[in-house]
Chains A and B, each alone.
Chain A
Amino acid sequence: DAGVTQSPTHLIKTRGQQVTLRCSPKSGHDTVSWYQQALGQGPQFIFQYYEEEERQRGNFPDRFSGHQFPNYSSELNVNALLLGDSALYLCASSIRQGSDGYTFGSGTRLTVV
């Protein structure tokens, strides 16, 4: 039973570029949440997708957008990259009405230069 899969694992981009990160949730999970984790900090909530719609959003600018596909997989897009966007981006899947915690992927380490 596959857990949460994220790709790519590492990425280096230049300021101003755009990036797309991908996530496949754990089998049986229908909800995907994205988090940004800076070094030494706790994960910061970006947004959550359920039934292909953004359901909740954290304090992130519109440069951060996402999508969820019919197979529950998800993408995180970041436009006009800034140096401050360098972080570990974590995808977490869960069951919408479930009582268990989130299952996290190993993350994508994004470096903006």
Chain B
Amino acid sequence: GQQVMQIPQYQHVQEGEDFTTYCNSSTTLSNIQWYKQRPGGHPVFLIQLVKSGEVKKQKRLTFQFGEAKKNSSLHITATQTTDVGTYFCAGRKSSASKIIFGSGTRLSIRP
């Protein structure tokens, strides 16, 4: 079945350092979404990427969708303590299909 894998599992950075998480799917995706889950919270939708090679930015966050639509990345520039949480990618094979979540990357930050 469809699998979505994320690396690394954990990342501990100094405040101000950059952070990147990578997502790989076993199948070609129709689109990919990114969510953030704060400790003790629920996933919150960040963004959706649809086009091959698409790059989107939200302030210090940069999201990329691979050319083959099987991988994606999230890069945070100059991390802040408010960035703490687990970042999940979630892919779907078609516009109406279920969304499969990756295992997530947990980001912790040293002040």
A residues sitting closer than 8 Å to B (CB atoms) are: 33, 35, 41-45, 48, 56, 58-59, 90, 92, 96-97, 99-107
Chain B positions within 8 Å of A, measured between CB atoms, are 1, 6, 33, 35, 41-48, 50, 88, 90, 95-104
Q: Are B104 and A104 in contact (CB under 8 A)?
A: no
- Is the Cβ of B42 less than 8 Å from the Cβ of A59? no
* In contact, A101 and B48 (Cβ under 8 angstroms): yes
Dominant SS among interface residues on chain A: loop
A43, A59, A104, A106: residue with the most chain B Cβ atoms closer than 10 Å: A43
For residue B44, give the distance in angstroms from its CB to the closest CB of chain A.
Answer: 7
Do A58 and B98 touch (CB < 8 A)?
A: yes
Q: How far is the CB of B41 from chain A (nearest CB, A)?
A: 8
Question: How many angstroms from the CA of A97 to the CA of B94 in the assembled complex?
Answer: 11
Alpha-carbon gap, A31 to B106, bound state (A): 29
Contact B45 A102 (CB under 8 A): yes
Tell me the bound Cα distance from A97 to B97 in angstroms.
11
Note all chain A residues with C-beta closer than 8 A to B50: 99
What residues on B are CB-neighbors of A58 within 8 Å? 98
CB distance from B98 to the nearest CB of A (A): 5
Contact residue among B1, B41, B42, B45 (Cβ-Cβ distance under 8 Å from A100) = B45
Interface contact A43-B48, CB-CB below 8 Å: no
Complex-state Cα separation, A59 to B3, whole angstroms: 13
